[in-house]
């Protein structure tokens, strides 16, 4: 275990640790472009050069391993001058695109110039022209090869992570250019990540193009609900300049590093699957009476619902079914169990999917397209396809009186059964969900629910890792979180529930699930915890 | 001055195995394989003070000693026949006129280090040298000097000739390895060094053609004799490639201690039309230029280093009084900018930037602070990159500006095109 | 050019080259050179075939094509003249020779004459400074050159005297 000094501070590290990682541990940040902890070392940007005593010239800290007795200097005048000059070299052929470049505000050339540059340009020559200016290289990414600083992160990403090898660096010297094979596309399921890792505006996200300046974005840590992997993400929403949002609040999602779940990456389906938060939302409670559709106030809607519900529960409790979804948070599932199973004694409370199984790969993507199936299992709900079909068939035969859905689109899932008719013949049908679908058009009561971006809570991923989601936005329109809805119902049914916050609910939850016994929100923190 | 390698250049058909054998060829290899131990060969080479003649001037024997012998991985020998350093053409002569000498040197090297597979990376533009080399390798196989049971011993060695495809950077050791592995010639990060992690991840010995070609002589006549031919720490003779404004451009084999003056005036016939010497490139384009009053320097690696230049590849380019140093530098930087692989920011952007400034100056559009800017830019060109291309560019570049600054200043801002752009 | 390069016969020859190396990909440069010598250039289709043969991404083949100066996407003329422009040759008049050739052939360096007879290129040091100023004409190293000598050589090629 070598011991070395960096800027006068001593540290002992594991054998094989590079200087840059040792410095990080000491809180010393050395600037870099090509280095990425998840990719192989390229050592080409030369930005991380530091002085190491007893060596003939500066060394790159991303590659050189710590040796016992090493003395490193990262902030001497000579190192600072060196950085300035490396930066100057990188800017020699870089176009002055800041005003039209999406990277502005999170651009490493800008950031390092302000921190390590601050020199007057003495460039008096024409810049080298490259061939691809604002060229889409696939459905998700735009390439501007003039802006590229040839750090090769994208090349290493497609070589080492997706193993699809789309990127190459063509030509040599200062005519070098990033590119894709002519006639081909960047078309793998993780393509969006290259815009994340590109330190400059050479590779930018087409979905995000010109949408919003990044300094207006409010960032909230959350978890992607697209599948059971539960990649850690950041929801980036525009709330300062709503007039630029084109009616959308969420501008983009970005992966958040978690070395136990998704490292630095997320798949494209998850990354671009945020539109439902601001589109096609159910924003008000709706009640259908015969063919009349009425928008109602929450109080009235709940009152009407409970009147009908209480009667059915008195007479034919065994002909009531509630379909919970693996998209609900642990807290919501716990409350639903408490309300429907414990307090109301409904027998047919089942876990029913809202999404069909999809693709799966050997990287991040899971076939189960719900974030909390494991959580539901731990709380006591498992999906039983046979039982669900039995209930639907019972409904078709008129043997079902009331059905409560949490977002499931039964009409689309069971095209071979006449679900619409079944719904019309129920005495009571309730849909609680965030977005319209074919089923929500055929029920009596539609209650607008909040999306995952609009609430706190926890999901448990397929490996049993419980992770927190945090509220990024206020529920749209009149929508409420499922927790709020369930507590609303409980209140109106005169149940005395003591919960003031999601944290309170979790506290109740953990007492009833042995795997969650020792947990609380603090412990779960930003990275989650694996439960057995 | 006894000629060792270059003696063969004048012998008709020395490239054929029969003539080579007549001239005493393969004697050293035969004796070594039958009577000597590998360690003995390595010791002889070390003691001979033979240094890398491709450009780096590193002790050949010491380089071999860095190769770990017990990793379980095969050890490879790679011969650097890329000869891309401008002003250098001596390996071409060895490959064309006495390729068996190289093969014999390779056999000795392979035997010393425990190598059974060798690759000769020859620059793609060389046609006749390649054909001659190929012929020689085939002949050697035919005679049982390559392949299994060489000279009837249990030693075996295979040689594969690998042709390059046009890139100076593939003359850099690790750039060569990358190219040999079927990729672009991007030099690798060091450490690890090729001796430990080289070709296909295995320990590798890389040597220049000429370096290996001296080994049969060392084994035949002893390391002491070879060391004495040269200077204190730089043994033997070397093939100097002389070109430019001299009467008799060509390859001259001379002892390490010879002076530059002697090479130019006593061997290469002096300056054409008896003109005055203005500057000399002493060791390939990457070496700092020397002026007329620096000609008494000895041409061994250490002496040249002491005067701020380098022995490099032994490529001597002579420039007489008609030369525009501004134009000469422009051509020089054009070369480096064109050959930069493009990995490292300082080299990729710096060589091109400097070249464009020089173009502007040659075009008569120089600006008053150009020279100071150039000096500052040049300062960070070297010592900051993965490989030494930028270091070479820097050394050459700064030497022009230092030693001929006034000439550059004269060209700014007047219109002063000397000879037009090449 | 939409000719298939990797015919069974060619594949056999390529396989033979690959057998020299413990890693197949190392044979990329020799195989590509072989294709170029047979077909005069490496077409886009050939690039894809090469990628498939070596099981490497097409982008990697494109990298090799654009990095190395000796690989061409389009064939050169019958007579390919590459004039060296590095220091020794520049000192001895390479610049003038290049301009002379551009004038005589009516093309700029990097181009081919319309009738496909001549291609002109500037080259960096070819390792023949002792015969500076020199050029590589097809495979041959020729020098020291003068305008007259170059003119003569051109005539010979144009008249089909040399092959």
Burial level of A522, CB count in 10 A (0-12/13-18/19+)?
A: exposed
Q: How far is CA A42 from CA A88, A152, B288, B337, B343, in A?
A: 20, 8, 30, 21, 9
Query: Which residues numbered 142-161 in C keep a CB inside 8 Å of some CB on B?
Result: none
Domain count of chain C?
2
Q: Are residues B40 and B75 in the same domain?
A: yes
Give the range of the structural domain holding residue A158, as residue numbers without chain letter. 98-107+117-277
Q: Are residues A334 and A476 in the same domain?
A: yes
Q: Are residues A302 and A446 in the same domain?
A: yes
Q: Are residues A271 and A212 in the same domain?
A: yes
Residue C52 lies in a domain: yes
Residue C30 lies in a domain: yes
Give the range of the structural domain holding residue C35, as residue numbers without chain letter. 8-67
Using left for φ > 0, alpha for ψ between -120 and 50, and beta otherwise, residue B152 falls in left
Picking from C17, C38, C67, the residue at the C-terminal end of a domain is: C67
Among all residues of chain A, which has the CA nearest to that of B338? A173
Q: Are residues B76 and B162 in the same domain?
A: yes
Picking from C35, C67, C99, the residue at the C-terminal end of a domain is: C67
Please enumerate in sequence order all residues whose Cβ is within 8 A of that of B397, keeping only pairs 6 or more positions apart, or say none.
Answer: B329, B332, B333, B354, B374, B378, B381
Q: Supply the CATH number for residue B302's domain.
A: 3.10.20.600
Of C26, C125, C128, the CB nearest to B181: C26
DSSP string covering B253-312: EEETT-BHHIIIIIIS-SBGGG--EEEEE-SSTTSPPEEGGGTT-B-SHHHHHHTT---T
Among all residues of chain B, which has the CA nearest to that of C139? B127
Contact B89 C21 (CB under 8 A): no
Residue C111 lies in a domain: yes
Q: Are residues C116 and C85 in the same domain?
A: yes
Q: Supply the CATH number for residue B405's domain.
A: 1.20.1440.230
**Low-confidence stretches of chain B (pLDDT beneath 50):** 415-422
Q: Identify the CA nearest to B365 among candidates B374, B353, B357.
A: B357
Interface TM-score (ipTM) > 0.85? yes
Residue A92 lies in a domain: no
Q: Are residues C58 and C99 in the same domain?
A: no
Residue C163 lies in a domain: no
Of B184, B343, B379, the CB nearest to A44: B343
Residue C44 lies in a domain: yes
Q: Are residues C55 and C84 in the same domain?
A: no
Q: Are residues B265 and B367 in the same domain?
A: no
Q: Whole-angstrom Cα distance, residue C97 to residue A175?
A: 26
Q: Are residues C93 and C52 in the same domain?
A: no
Residue A52 lies in a domain: yes
Residue C3 lies in a domain: no
Residue C53 lies in a domain: yes
Q: Are residues B271 and B366 in the same domain?
A: no
Q: Are residues B130 and B265 in the same domain?
A: no
Q: Supply the CATH number for residue B124's domain.
A: 3.40.50.11540
Picking from B229, B248, B275, the residue at the C-terminal end of a domain is: B229
Would you mind telling me the total number of residues written for chain B in this entry?
422
Contact A126 B356 (CB under 8 A): yes
Q: What is the pLDDT of residue B418?
A: 45
Q: How far is CA B44 from CA A8, B108, B203, B288, in A?
A: 46, 11, 21, 32
Q: What is the pLDDT of residue B420?
A: 39
Domain count of chain B?
3
Picking from B293, B320, B347, the residue at the C-terminal end of a domain is: B320
Q: What is the pLDDT of residue C1?
A: 52
Q: Are residues C59 and C91 in the same domain?
A: no
Q: Whole-angstrom Cα distance, residue C41 to residue C32?
A: 9
Does C73 contact chain A (CB < 8 Å)?
A: no
Of A165, A171, A172, the CB nearest to C59: A165
Q: Whole-angstrom Cα distance, residue A184 to residue A165?
A: 11
For every one of its 532 residues, what pLDDT tens digit does chain A have, with 9 covering 90 and above?
A: 999 999 999 999 999 999 999 999 999 999 999 999 999 999 999 999 999 999 999 999 999 999 999 999 999 999 999 999 999 999 999 999 999 999 999 999 999 999 999 999 999 899 999 999 999 999 999 999 999 999 999 999 999 999 999 999 999 999 999 999 999 999 899 999 999 999 999 999 999 999 999 999 999 999 999 999 999 999 999 988 888 888 899 999 999 999 999 999 999 999 999 999 999 999 999 999 877 899 999 999 999 999 999 999 999 889 999 999 999 999 999 999 999 999 999 999 999 999 999 999 999 999 999 999 999 999 999 999 999 999 999 999 989 999 999 999 999 999 998 999 999 889 999 999 999 999 999 999 999 999 999 999 999 999 999 999 999 999 999 999 999 999 999 999 999 999 999 999 999 999 999 999 999 999 999 999 999 7
Domain count of chain A?
3
Q: Are residues C93 and C113 in the same domain?
A: yes
Q: Supply the CATH number for residue C134's domain.
A: 3.40.30.10
Picking from B289, B320, B351, the residue at the C-terminal end of a domain is: B320
Q: pLDDT tens digit string along C112-158?
A: 999 999 999 999 999 999 999 999 999 999 999 999 999 998 888 77
Q: Are residues A400 and A421 in the same domain?
A: yes
Chains touching chain A at 3 or more Cβ pairs under 8 angstroms?
A: B, C
Q: What is the pLDDT of residue B172?
A: 98
Residue A301 lies in a domain: yes
Of A165, A171, A182, the CB nearest to C60: A165
Q: Are residues A201 and A260 in the same domain?
A: yes
Give the range of the structural domain holding residue B113, as residue numbers without chain letter. 6-229
Picking from C47, C67, C87, the residue at the C-terminal end of a domain is: C67
Chains touching chain C at 3 or more Cβ pairs under 8 angstroms?
A: A, B
Please enumerate in sequence order all residues whose Cβ is within 8 A of that of A367, keeping only pairs 6 or more positions apart, or say none.
Answer: A227, A357, A358, A359, A360
Residue A80 lies in a domain: no
Sign of CA dihedral B82, B86, B91, B96: positive
Contact C129 B89 (CB under 8 A): yes
Q: Are residues B288 and B332 in the same domain?
A: no
Of B86, B166, B184, the CB nearest to C87: B86
Provide, as residue numbers in chain C, all residues whose Cβ is less than 8 Å from the Cβ of B126: 127
Q: Whole-angstrom Cα distance, residue B386 to residue B379?
A: 16
Q: pTM here?
A: 0.95
Cis peptide before B192 (omega within 30 of 0): yes
| Cβ atoms of A140 and A273 closer than 8 Å | no
Q: What is the pLDDT of residue C4?
A: 92
Does C52 contact chain A (CB < 8 Å)?
A: no
Picking from A277, A294, A318, the residue at the C-terminal end of a domain is: A277
Q: Are residues B188 and B137 in the same domain?
A: yes
Q: Identify the CA nearest to B317 among candidates B88, B52, B79, B77.
A: B88
In the structure encoding, which two tokens stand for residue C33, read together? Answer: 């050179």
Provide, as residue numbers in chain B, all residues whose Cβ is less than 8 Å from the Cβ of C20: 160
Provide, as residue numbers in chain A, all residues whose Cβ is less than 8 Å from the Cβ of C62: 168, 170, 179, 181-182
| Cβ atoms of C121 and C109 closer than 8 Å | yes
Q: What is the pLDDT of residue A304?
A: 95
Q: Are residues B195 and B241 in the same domain?
A: no
The SS3 of residue A430 is strand
Sheet holding B290-291, edge to edge: B250-255, B237-244, B315-320, B277-281, B290-291
Q: Are residues C114 and C136 in the same domain?
A: yes
Q: Are residues B76 and B216 in the same domain?
A: yes
């Amino acid at each position: 275990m070598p011991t070395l000094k960096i800027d006068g501070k001593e540290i002992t590290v594991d054998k094989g640790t590079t200087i840059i990682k040792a410095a990080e541990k000491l809180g010393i940040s050395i600037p870099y472009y090509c280095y990425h902890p998840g990719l192989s070392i390229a050592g080409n940007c030369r930005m991380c050069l530091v002085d190491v005593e007893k060596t003939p010239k500066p060394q790159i800290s991303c590659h050189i391993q710590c040796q016992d007795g090493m003395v490193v200097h990262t902030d001497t005048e000579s190192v600072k001058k060196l950085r300035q000059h490396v930066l100057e070299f990188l800017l020699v052929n870089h176009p002055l695109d800041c005003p039209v470049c999406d990277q502005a505000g999170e651009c490493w050339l800008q950031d390092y110039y302000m921190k390590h540059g601050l020199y007057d340009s003495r460039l008096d020559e024409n810049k080298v022209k490259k061939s691809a200016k604002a060229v889409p290289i696939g459905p998700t990414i735009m390439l501007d090869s003039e802006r590229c600083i040839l750090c090769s992160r994208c090349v290493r990403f497609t070589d080492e992570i997706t193993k699809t090898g789309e990127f190459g660096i063509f030509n040599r010297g200062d005519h070098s250019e990033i590119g894709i094979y002519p006639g081909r596309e960047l078309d793998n399921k993780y393509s969006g990540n290259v815009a994340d890792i590109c330190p400059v505006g050479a590779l930018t996200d087409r979905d995000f193009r010109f949408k919003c300046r990044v300094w207006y974005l409010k960032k909230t840590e959350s978890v992607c609900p697209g599948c059971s992997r539960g990649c850690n993400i950041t929801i980036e929403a525009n709330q300062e300049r709503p007039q630029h949002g084109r009616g959308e609040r969420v501008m983009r999602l970005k992966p958040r590093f978690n070395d136990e779940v998704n490292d630095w990456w997320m798949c494209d389906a998850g990354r671009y699957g945020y539109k439902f938060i601001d589109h096609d939302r159910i924003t008000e409670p709706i009640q259908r009476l015969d063919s009349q559709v009425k928008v109602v106030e929450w109080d009235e809607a709940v009152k009407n619902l409970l009147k009908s519900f209480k009667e059915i529960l008195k007479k034919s409790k065994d002909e009531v079914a509630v379909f919970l979804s693996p998209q609900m948070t642990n807290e919501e599932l716990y409350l639903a169990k408490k309300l429907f199973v414990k307090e109301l004694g409904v027998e047919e409370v089942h876990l029913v999917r809202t999404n069909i199984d999809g693709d799966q790969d050997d990287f991040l993507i899971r076939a189960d397209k719900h974030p909390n199936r494991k959580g539901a299992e731990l709380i006591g709900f498992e999906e039983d396809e046979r039982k669900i079909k039995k209930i639907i068939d019972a409904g078709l035969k008129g043997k079902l009186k009331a059905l409560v859905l949490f977002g499931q689109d039964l009409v689309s899932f069971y095209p071979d059964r006449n679900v619409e008719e079944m719904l019309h013949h129920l005495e009571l049908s309730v849909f609680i969900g965030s977005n319209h679908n074919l089923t929500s058009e055929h029920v009596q009561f539609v209650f607008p629910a909040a999306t995952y971006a609009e609430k706190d809570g926890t999901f448990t991923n397929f490996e049993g890792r419980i992770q927190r989601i945090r509220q990024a936005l206020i529920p749209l329109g009149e929508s409420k979180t499922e927790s709020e809805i369930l507590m609303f119902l409980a209140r109106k049914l005169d149940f005395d529930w003591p919960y003031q916050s999601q944290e309170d609910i979790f506290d109740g939850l953990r007492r009833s699930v042995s795997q969650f016994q020792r947990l609380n929100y603090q412990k779960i923190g930003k990275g989650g915890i694996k439960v057995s | 001055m006894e000629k060792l390698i270059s003696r063969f250049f004048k012998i008709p058909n020395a490239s054929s195995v029969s003539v080579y054998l007549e001239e005493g060829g393969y004697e050293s290899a035969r004796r070594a394989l039958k009577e000597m131990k590998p360690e003995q060969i390595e010791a002889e080479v070390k003691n001979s003070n033979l240094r890398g003649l491709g450009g780096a001037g590193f002790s050949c024997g010491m380089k071999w000693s860095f190769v770990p012998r017990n990793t379980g991985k095969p050890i490879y020998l790679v011969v650097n026949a890329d000869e891309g350093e401008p002003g250098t053409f001596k390996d071409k002569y060895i490959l064309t006129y006495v390729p068996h000498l190289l093969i014999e040197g390779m056999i000795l090297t392979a035997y010393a280090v425990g190598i059974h597979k060798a690759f000769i990376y020859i620059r793609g533009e060389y046609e006749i040298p390649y054909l001659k080399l190929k012929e020689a390798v085939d002949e050697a196989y035919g005679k049982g000097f390559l392949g299994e049971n060489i000279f009837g011993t249990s030693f075996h060695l295979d040689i594969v000739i690998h042709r390059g495809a046009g890139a100076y950077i593939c003359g850099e050791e690790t750039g060569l390895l990358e190219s040999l592995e079927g990729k672009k010639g991007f030099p690798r990060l060091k450490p690890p060094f090729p001796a430990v992690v080289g070709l296909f991840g295995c320990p590798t010995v890389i040597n220049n053609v000429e370096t290996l070609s001296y080994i049969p002589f060392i084994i035949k006549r002893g390391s002491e004799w070879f060391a004495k031919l040269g200077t204190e720490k730089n043994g033997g003779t070397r093939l100097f490639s002389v070109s430019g404004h001299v009467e008799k451009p060509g390859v001259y084999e001379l002892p390490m201690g010879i002076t530059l003056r002697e090479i130019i005036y006593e061997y290469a016939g002096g300056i054409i039309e008896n003109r005055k010497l203005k500057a000399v490139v002493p060791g390939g384009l990457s070496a700092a230029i020397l002026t007329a009053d620096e000609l008494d320097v000895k041409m061994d690696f250490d002496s040249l280093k002491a005067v701020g230049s380098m022995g490099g590849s032994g490529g001597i380019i002579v420039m007489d009084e008609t030369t525009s140093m501004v134009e000469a530098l422009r051509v020089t930087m054009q070369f480096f900018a064109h050959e930069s692989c493009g990995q490292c920011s300082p080299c990729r952007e710096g060589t091109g930037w400097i070249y464009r400034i020089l173009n502007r100056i040659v075009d008569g559009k120089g600006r008053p602070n150009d020279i100071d800017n150039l000096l500052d830019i040049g300062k960070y060109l070297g010592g900051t990159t993965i490989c030494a291309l930028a270091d070479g560019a820097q050394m050459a570049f700064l030497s022009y500006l230092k030693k001929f600054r006034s000439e550059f200043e004269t060209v700014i801002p007047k219109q002063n095109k000397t000879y037009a752009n090449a | 050019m939409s000719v298939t390069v990797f015919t069974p016969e060619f594949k056999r020859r390529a396989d033979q080259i690959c057998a020299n190396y413990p890693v197949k990909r190392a044979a990329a440069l020799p195989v590509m050179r072989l294709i170029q010598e047979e077909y005069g250039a490496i077409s886009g289709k050939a690039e894809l075939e090469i990628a498939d043969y070596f099981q490497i991404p097409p982008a990697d083949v494109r990298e090799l094509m654009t990095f190395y100066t000796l690989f061409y996407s389009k064939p050169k003329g019958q007579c390919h003249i590459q004039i060296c422009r590095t220091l020794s040759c520049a000192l001895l008049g390479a610049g003038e020779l290049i301009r002379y050739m551009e004038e005589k052939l009516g093309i700029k360096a990097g181009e081919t004459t319309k009738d496909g007879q001549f291609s002109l290129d500037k080259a960096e040091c070819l390792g023949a400074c002792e015969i500076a100023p020199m050029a590589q004409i097809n495979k041959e190293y020729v020098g020291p050159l003068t305008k007259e000598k170059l003119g003569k050589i051109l005539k010979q090629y144009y008249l089909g005297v040399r092959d």
